[in-house]
Amino acid sequence: MTDRRGDRRGGRTGVWFAGARGSVATTAVAGAAAVRTGLAGAAGLVAETGDFRGAGLPALSDLVFGGHDVVQTPLVKRAEQLASAGVLPAAVAAAVRPDLLAADAEIRDGHDGGEPPSAAAERLAADMTAFRDRHGLDRVVVVNVSSTEPPAPRRPEHQDLDALERAIAAGDEVLPPSSTYAYAAFRAGCPFVDFTPSTGPRLPALDALARSRGLPYAGSDGKTGETLLRSALAPMFAARALRVLAWSGTNLLGGGDGATLADPAAAASKTASKQRGLAQLLGRPVDGELHIDYVPDLGDWKTSWDHVLFEGFLGTRMTLQFTWEGCDSALAAPLVLDLARFTARAHEAGEAGALVPLAFFFKDPAGTTDHRLDAQYTALREWAARRLGAGAGAGERPEESA
Amino acid sequence: MTDRRGDRRGGRTGVWFAGARGSVATTAVAGAAAVRTGLAGAAGLVAETGDFRGAGLPALSDLVFGGHDVVQTPLVKRAEQLASAGVLPAAVAAAVRPDLLAADAEIRDGHDGGEPPSAAAERLAADMTAFRDRHGLDRVVVVNVSSTEPPAPRRPEHQDLDALERAIAAGDEVLPPSSTYAYAAFRAGCPFVDFTPSTGPRLPALDALARSRGLPYAGSDGKTGETLLRSALAPMFAARALRVLAWSGTNLLGGGDGATLADPAAAASKTASKQRGLAQLLGRPVDGELHIDYVPDLGDWKTSWDHVLFEGFLGTRMTLQFTWEGCDSALAAPLVLDLARFTARAHEAGEAGALVPLAFFFKDPAGTTDHRLDAQYTALREWAARRLGAGAGAGERPEESA
Amino acid sequence: MTDRRGDRRGGRTGVWFAGARGSVATTAVAGAAAVRTGLAGAAGLVAETGDFRGAGLPALSDLVFGGHDVVQTPLVKRAEQLASAGVLPAAVAAAVRPDLLAADAEIRDGHDGGEPPSAAAERLAADMTAFRDRHGLDRVVVVNVSSTEPPAPRRPEHQDLDALERAIAAGDEVLPPSSTYAYAAFRAGCPFVDFTPSTGPRLPALDALARSRGLPYAGSDGKTGETLLRSALAPMFAARALRVLAWSGTNLLGGGDGATLADPAAAASKTASKQRGLAQLLGRPVDGELHIDYVPDLGDWKTSWDHVLFEGFLGTRMTLQFTWEGCDSALAAPLVLDLARFTARAHEAGEAGALVPLAFFFKDPAGTTDHRLDAQYTALREWAARRLGAGAGAGERPEESA
Amino acid sequence: MTDRRGDRRGGRTGVWFAGARGSVATTAVAGAAAVRTGLAGAAGLVAETGDFRGAGLPALSDLVFGGHDVVQTPLVKRAEQLASAGVLPAAVAAAVRPDLLAADAEIRDGHDGGEPPSAAAERLAADMTAFRDRHGLDRVVVVNVSSTEPPAPRRPEHQDLDALERAIAAGDEVLPPSSTYAYAAFRAGCPFVDFTPSTGPRLPALDALARSRGLPYAGSDGKTGETLLRSALAPMFAARALRVLAWSGTNLLGGGDGATLADPAAAASKTASKQRGLAQLLGRPVDGELHIDYVPDLGDWKTSWDHVLFEGFLGTRMTLQFTWEGCDSALAAPLVLDLARFTARAHEAGEAGALVPLAFFFKDPAGTTDHRLDAQYTALREWAARRLGAGAGAGERPEESA
């Protein structure tokens, strides 16, 4: 591996999106090009901050993009839509056209059920492998940024890899699409990142598959807004012995995600993931509803209002309210790039299974129940410090994963 | 020392307030009695959380209260006022009457300039010493909860203890009242806590005095509301590489503190202390004004509104707003009790100078520029862990202070 | 009629509450006494403002209280509970004890279904009549402040008075409790005010009954918080040609009302009543959900957060958010007193049917679809001006009601 | 005059901006073209709503633009800047290029002091007259949208037209620039609109001049955001007898206006204008500061946070907070177009002096102290109704102005 920066490892890295034509993937592809070429600064990219220099992460310029999607809209057109919605600067959308065209040429037909599962898995895996071979990539990280699924029904086959593979072979649609992507990725020797609250790789059978192939995975559900704030604020109440009585939240969002979550079944995945974290942060369940409302005219923007009722000295009741107004794609896209780079590095270092040190990025982190933002950040930096200066590949001692 | 709980150290501890008839001191005296007797829970008391069990802090039942004040309103009357303002539960105010009367009997005439400095210092110190002797206390922690002073003019004598003592002897009013209290405390062999943004012990000459007498001190400016939130939230922006462009704040407060801060000179101390911390948290100064407005009808309640404008991926501008509505005395009083207990323990353990591990409690922590709440909390817990099980007094190895 | 103030009419007026032991009724009884005796000012009482002097409203000192309730908690105890929750000043609760005892003596067993409808109506009406006779009152206004009912199923008998009376006689539970109260009131010759979103008198058959007996009624659903603001703000957007795209709202409330509304069926009445008004104010339905969440620890306090997304010149999207933090009983109780006084005056003046000029007080005003607060206020003042100086009783020309 | 719509009057109308290259004027010129040609809808334009159809206002297509400015940036460039800041849609900025070029050709050098006053006034008036003649306009309305001035020192000459004209002739800089524009406009026979809080025509001497020439004027200080809300909300508190104890506000704004108002002297004009209105709305001065903070990165966007502390029944304290996030130019530009059209119609109808019915548009309305938004809107509609169907020009009966 040629390492132009001296401290960089990870080699040429493919980033393969499930949902490659969505807002997040489009912004990630366009943004990576814009930052790489100096059109835009590095704001939002955790991997570019001082704490992670020298940790051997692949550079932005080492990333090659492709993926699956069930829709056909060209990426150039998606970027224009995002520009007119104020998500991408118009100048960026225009300047990165070649990068969008290149990624577009690497997008294949996606999967959303209906195809015999065994054929689907084989086809998806073949697309990933061909992408890796075509570009001579050291590795391909598969990142799920497709629409949120409804919670999948539990099946006994999810507990056991052999049973799962028998069911798939028998044509049983035992896996939801997100898990089929993870299954295909692991079969193709690719690490997996689930940026959505869908099931993805979070099944014992898939965990076993990942470990047996020496593959790491990270997830679930990128922590971009309200939950990010909750994970920063809840530890403050705990440290100061202020007793939270109720934590209520309302999220208004438009865009594709809003439309998906207007379906109560899909919203259930997200709501459950958010409330689980809060109870764990506060050490017990607290009162308070969590609403996700679809407001089409908000487009890619999201507004969260949270109201925290807490009790201080001598039972005095006090409140904190916050309103967060963020652009979903602008918050999610850099994390997706970060996750691909951190996961690639973990794979290079020989890690397998759930990547607990990446909990910092997720609402519902795989392999841990510690939701405190600062503790997660400390864990990520410690992981990076251990990767620092370590030899690449076989020479590097893998660490235990959760 | 008889230690009824087995893990407790610190002995019988005096808490001597500068500003003993103010809302904070009154709530602290009443609240300590209410919690000790089970009338109220331990909400708001950091020292009572699991992290600090076994660290040898003096128990609430080991605290004895007294202090100085320039006003004469009886504590029982102050508590009634606080009850009718909704700050103290009426039942608490009534039930702790004996404790208020006991503390009232220990309040002496305060100092706010005008008295020859040398006589003032001697008188204040004598009151502290007499209190210690009268009750056979192991130590007395002096806690400044008096009104905020305007910033004091710098004097060369502040740099050098000998020069300072000569000036005092010569009748020069070289110290503001808060520093006179600290000087008197150190002369009386008492550790000192400055809960206000006033100058207090933060002068090289007073630091030298404290160290020469083996006395610790902590300060400045209790972190109870807006700044507490800022120190929890600013690290989140930094960790996520979100670039804060402007952080604006408006504080509405009534009560005695509000009236004091309506004087722009006094407000200057507080504003400076708040903005310093923000710049340090974010690594650079950012735009944004900070207002402190006096709204008499808010009484002891304080409302803070903060607006954070930040930049994410590709320059997208986003915002966070929060509104914090807190009762000042209910937030401050438990911290004052915590600080007395932690400082007493540090004294017992032989620490001297600025108590950096207590930065968690302050807007403008003495001896450090690290304002990150979580890092401060970790430091406090580590300090407590080191105190755990250590032998008391002479047998315990003092640690270096900043 | 003796008129001690010269301009006063209306005579001695009974106020008979359905829900006489609830927070609103208790606060109304206590508050009327406190204001009458100068213990408290007239804040919150519309009838006491300059616009309504001379309109012949009965004075606070002319009101006599009683009512029905299904619970037995003494009013004195309810007042103590309200005082310790910070709703009633403790001094008021203590001082008005005789007034609470007097009202308590006038409370009879309430009705919430289960009793043969004809017997129930007769019993309720007899209680009202006996109250009027016992105190020699000129009239009794019945005010429904009981818990919100779920929406009642529509019945053909609701359209026709004869059919309704036949069904009642036949033992058919054709009316929900709120309508049974209205039916009983009209049978007893009493005007009726529905302060809740329940069905109450809003049935053609009951409207016919009221008109046939020359009785006025007012309703529905007191406009105390979020809807009050909406009716003040929505006309602003309309007048400025700012196009509201979505209006979202979240209400957090504790107390009895919160518990009732935690039942989605009961909440449906309230939500429907709120959204209807918004669509009428804006001239068309707009996007946006409305949530009512039960947060027990808020007690009698209610927090509403509204988010308005609107479009200005050239399609620019802008937002307004507001947070209203109010004490439900303190907002509702004075309106209940106002309504009793205005309705008594309308009765005296010979009005019958829905009192359109009282729309100002309601979320879902009977007899009109104009929800604009200012237009409603203008209508109320114009009505009062017409009542001004007019002769009482028979000599006064009744006006057309809706 | 050809009247294509039948109900239209007002003739071809010039709109002459003082500050013709600023954001508001640029947005007004671009927006008028966009709405006229169907590129954008009529959101934000009061004159286009149903209430003003038939009132004889000049159509958007009857407006011709020009003005004065002290800067030279071409309008096309300004529009591009506004487009990249998200204020103008990029498609609009491109499509209206011919209209921007046409207006640009009509911009002359502005005035900001330093020139002998008599020469300045003559030059400005000559530019206005030439514009009217060049385009054969029925009238030219001069609209001040230049930067806010500091409050001007009072001069005795401001009280008397003769004294004023003598001072001007003597070379005395007796008028601030905004008033020099008004003086020039009146001398040129042009009605005047002051959209800023500067002095403008609000001097007895200039009022006398306007009346002597039969010219109407309107002002001052366009009501676009926080004050708009205050004038909608304050009457609600009054109507409900809720006693406002304190009304505090913080405004964060960037853009040219923000930079100007960062100068405390200029901000003083605006702050005074805002607080005056609030006291008048509430019937008495209330506590509460008003801050205007410059936050450069907000660009053309403005955020206002208001906190209202009020007292309800039995002294219960409650609060309302709102946050308004608006785009200044998008809010101001349509009002500027409205004002030009309403003022042109008033001129056509023979009105002179302060146009009280236009108070609806202003923070500090000339000729009235009624700040209630709804009352102002009613007055505007009544004025329009009187204009309806009335014959134009000499045949129409002028009404009394304030």
As to burial, measured by CB atoms within 10 angstroms (0-12 exposed, 13-18 middle, 19+ buried), residue B151 is: middle
Nearest beta carbon to residue C89 from set D235, D241, D315: D315
Q: Domain for residue A185, yes or no?
A: yes
Residue B8 lies in a domain: no
Chains that touch D (3 or more CB pairs under 8 A): A, B, C
Name the token pair of C128.
Answer: 């009202």
A140 & A154 share domain: yes
Q: Nearest chain C Cα to D244, which residue?
A: C43
Domain end call among B312, B328, B344 = B328
Residue D261 pLDDT greater than 80, yes or no: no
The reply to whether A384 falls in a domain is yes
C-beta atoms of A316 and B325 within 8 A: no
Query: Does one domain contain both C158 and C95?
Result: yes
pLDDT higher than 80, residue A14: yes
CB contacts < 8 A, C to D, total 172
**For an interface test with D, which of C27, C314, C373 has the most D Cβ atoms less than 10 Å from its Cβ?**
C314
Q: How confident is the model at residue B274 (pLDDT cuts 50, 70, 90)?
A: confident
Closest CA to B21 of B86, B85, B84, B65: B65
Distance from CA of A317 to the nearest CA of D (A): 15
> Which DSSP helix (H) or strand (E) runs through C16?
strand C13-18
Give the residue-averaged pLDDT of A48-55.
91
Q: From the CA of B289, how many Å to the nearest CA of chain C?
A: 22
Contacts of A142 (CB under 8 A, 6+ apart): A16, A17, A18, A128, A181, A182, A184, A185, A188, A190, A191, A192, A193
For an interface test with B, give the residue of A316, A325, A331 to mutate (most B CBs within 10 A). Answer: A316
pLDDT tens string D348-362 = 999 999 999 999 999
Q: Whats the size of chain C, residue-wise?
A: 402
Phi first, then psi, for residue D210 (nearest 5°) are: -60, -45
What 3-state class would DSSP assign to C167? helix
Whether residues B197 and B86 share a domain: the answer is yes
Please write the tens of the pLDDT for every residue from C334-379. Answer: 999 999 999 999 999 999 999 999 999 999 999 999 999 999 999 9
Regarding predicted confidence, which is higher, A398 or A259? A259
Task: Decide if A402 is inside a domain.
Answer: no
Residues 6+ apart with CB under 8 A from B60: B32, B35, B36, B337
Same-domain pairing of C184 and C306? no
What mean pLDDT comes out for the span A319-328?
A: 97
Quick check: B316 and A334 CB within 8 A?
no
Mean pLDDT of A198-218: 97
Could you give phi then psi for residue C266, rounded to 5 degrees? -70, -40
- Among D281, D316, D336, D358, pick the best mutation site for testing chain C contact (most C Cβ within 10 A): D316
Contact D321/B323, CB-based, under 8 Å?
Answer: yes
Q: Is A199 strand, coil or helix?
A: coil
Residues of C in contact with D379 (CB under 8 A): none
Buried b / exposed e over C247-277, threshold 16 CB at 10 Å, is bbbbbbbbbbbbebbbeeebbbbbbebbbeb
Residue burial C308-340, b: 16+ Cβ < 10 Å; e: rest: bbbbbbbbbbbbbbbbbbbbbbbbbbbbbbbbb
Residue of B nearest to C91 (CA): B84
Residue D395 banded pLDDT, cuts 50, 70, 90: very low
Interatomic CA distance for residues D220 and D225, integer angstroms: 15
Asked if D307 and B248 come within 8 Å (Cβ–Cβ), the reply is: no
- Chain C contact set for B86 (CB, 8 A): 86
Residue C199 predicted with pLDDT over 80: yes
Would you state the pLDDT for residue B7? 43
Q: Are residues C251 and C324 in the same domain?
A: yes
Q: Do B187 and B275 reside in the same domain of the chain? A: no
| C226 pLDDT above the threshold of 90 | yes
What integer is the mean pLDDT of D378-397? 72
pLDDT, tens digit (0-9, with 9 covering 90-100), for B193-228:
999 999 999 999 999 999 999 999 999 999 999 999
User: Which residues in chain A are contacts of D323 at CB distance < 8 A?
Assistant: 323
Distance CA A206, CA A354 (A): 11
Q: Are residues D214 and D293 in the same domain?
A: no
In this predicted model, what pLDDT tens digit does every residue of B148-202 receive, in sequence order? 898 899 999 999 999 999 999 999 999 999 999 999 999 999 999 999 999 999 9
Question: Are A293 and C289 an interchain contact pair (Cβ–Cβ within 8 Å)?
Answer: yes
Average pLDDT for A38-55: 94
CA of C295, closest CA in chain A: separation in Å? Answer: 6
Residue A399, pLDDT > 90, answer no
pLDDT digits (tens, 9 = 90+) for D117-153: 999 999 999 999 999 999 999 999 999 999 989 889 9
> Smallest CA–CA separation between A249 and chain C, in Å?
9
Split at pLDDT 50, 70, 90, the class of C397 is: very low
Using CB atoms, which chains have 3+ pairs under 8 A with C?
Answer: A, B, D
Whether the Cβ atoms of residue B134 and residue B250 lie closer than 8 Å to each other: no
Range of lowest pLDDT (A33-42, A49-58, C172-181): A49-58
D136 and D160 belong to one structural domain: yes
Rounded Cα gap, residues D46 and D27, in angstroms: 16
| C324 interaction partners in chain D (CB closer than 8 Å) | 318-320
Average pLDDT value for residue range D357-384: 95
Alpha helix (H) ranges present in A136-201?
161-169, 177-187
- Residue A133 domain-assigned? yes
Region B42-49: mean pLDDT is 96
Tell me the chain D residues in contact with residue B271 when contact means C-beta distances shorter than 8 Å. none
**Greatest Cα pair distance in chain D:** 67
Same domain, D193 and D90: yes
Can you give the pLDDT at residue D361?
98
Identify the sign of the CA torsion B87, B89, B90, B96.
negative
Question: Would the CA dihedral through B88, B92, B95, B99 be positive or negative?
Answer: negative
- Which residue has better confidence, A394 or D402? D402
Residues of D with CB under 8 A from a CB of A: 84, 86, 90, 323
| Domain-embedded: residue A300 | yes
In sequence order, what are the beta bridge partners of B39?
none
List pLDDT tens digits, range B49-59: 998 988 999 99
What pLDDT shows up at residue A392?
Answer: 44
Phi-psi region of D353 (alpha: psi -120 to 50; beta: other; left: phi over 0): left
C331: closest CA of chain D, how far (Å): 7
Residues of B in contact with A239 (CB under 8 A): 46, 360, 373-374, 377
> For the residues B138-142, what does the mean pLDDT come to?
98
Q: In terms of CA atoms, which chain D residue is nearest residue A325? A: D325
> Does pLDDT of A9 surpass 70?
no
pLDDT in tens, B341-373: 999 999 999 999 999 999 999 999 999 999 999
CATH number, domain containing residue B298: 3.30.360.10
pLDDT of res. A335: 98
Residue D234 has pLDDT above 60, yes or no: yes
- Substitution target from A261, A291, A295 for chain C, most C beta carbons within 10 A: A295
In chain C, what residues touch A250 (CB-CB under 8 Å)?
248, 250, 291, 305
**Contact criterion met (CB < 8 Å) for C86 and B86:** yes
Reported confidence tier of residue D112, pLDDT bands at 50, 70, 90 = confident
Interface test with A, best of B236, B240, B339 (most A CBs within 10 A): B240
How many structural domains comprise chain A? 2
Average pLDDT over residues C144-148: 94
Helix (H, G, I), strand (E, B) or coil at C115: coil
Structure tokens that stand for C281 in this block:
């104010």
Angle at A197 between CA A191 and CA A201, to 5 degrees: 35
Does D86 contact A86 at a Cβ distance shorter than 8 Å?
yes
Nearest CA in chain A to C325: A319
Q: For position D7, what pLDDT does the model report?
A: 43
Instruction: Single out the residue of D201, D179, D196 nearest to residue D144, CA to CA.
Output: D196
Q: Quick check: D366 and D402 in contact, CB under 8 A?
A: yes
Burial (CB count <10 Å: 0-12, 13-18, 19+), residue B268: middle
B221-269, pLDDT tens digit by residue?
A: 999 999 999 999 999 999 999 999 999 999 999 977 777 777 777 677 6
Cβ pair C325:D331 closer than 8 A: no
- Given C308, C328, C348, the domain boundary residue is C328
Residue C284: what pLDDT?
Answer: 87
- A64 plus A173 within the same structural domain: yes
d(CA B258, CA D89): 46
Alpha helices in C105-176 (DSSP H): 117-135, 161-169
Rounded (10°) CA dihedral B180, B181, B185, B188: 70
Taking contacts as CB-CB distances below 8 angstroms, the residues of chain C near D321 are 322-323
Is the pLDDT at A251 greater than 60? The verdict is yes
Closest residue of C to A311, CA-based?
A: C297
Identify which of C43, C319, C324 has the shortest CB distance to residue D315: C43
Question: Chain D contacts of C241, Cβ < 8 Å?
Answer: 42-46, 48-49, 334
Q: Tell me what pLDDT residue B87 has.
A: 87
Angstrom distance (rounded) from CA D66 to CA D15: 6
Per-residue pLDDT of D320-349, as tens digits, reads: 999 999 999 999 999 999 999 999 999 999
The answer to whether residues D306 and D335 belong to one domain is no
Candidates B34, B229, B311; nearest CB to A314: B34
Task: Quote the pLDDT of residue C389.
Answer: 59
Cα–Cα distance for residue pair C238/C297, rounded to 1 Å: 37
Cβ contacts of B323 on chain C, cutoff 8 Å: 323
Q: What is the pLDDT of residue D275?
A: 74
Does the residue B7 lie in any domain? no
What pLDDT, on the 0 to 100 scale, is given for residue C276? Answer: 77
Subunits with at least 3 CB pairs below 8 A relative to chain A? B, C, D
Do A165 and A233 sit in the same domain of this protein? no
* Structural domain boundaries, residue B200: 13-222+330-388
Give me the pLDDT at residue D216, please.
98
By percentage, how much of chain A surpasses pLDDT 70? 93
In a domain, C344, yes or no: yes
Question: Does the beta-carbon distance from B44 to A312 stay under 8 Å?
Answer: yes
Q: Identify the domain boundary among B313, B328, B343.
A: B328
| Residue B61: half-sphere exposure toward Cβ, Cα within 13 Å | 8
Q: Measured between CA atoms, how close is A72 to chain C, in angstroms? A: 29
pLDDT at B393: 43
CATH number of the structural domain spanning residue D66:
3.40.50.720
Q: Report the residue of chain D nearest C377, measured CA to CA.
A: D239
Tracing tokens 């009808």 back to the chain, one arrives at B297
With beta carbons under 8 A apart, name residues in chain D contacting A323: 323
Q: Which helix (H) or strand (E) holds D379?
A: helix D373-387
Contact D44/C320, CB-based, under 8 Å? no
Which residues of chain D have a CB within 8 Å of the CB of C322? 320-323
Minimal CA separation from B395 to chain D, in Å = 56
Query: Quick one: which of D262, D247, D251, D218 has its CA closest to D328?
Result: D251
Query: Which chain D residues contact residue C373 at CB under 8 A?
Result: 236, 239
Mean pLDDT for the stretch of residues D166-188: 96
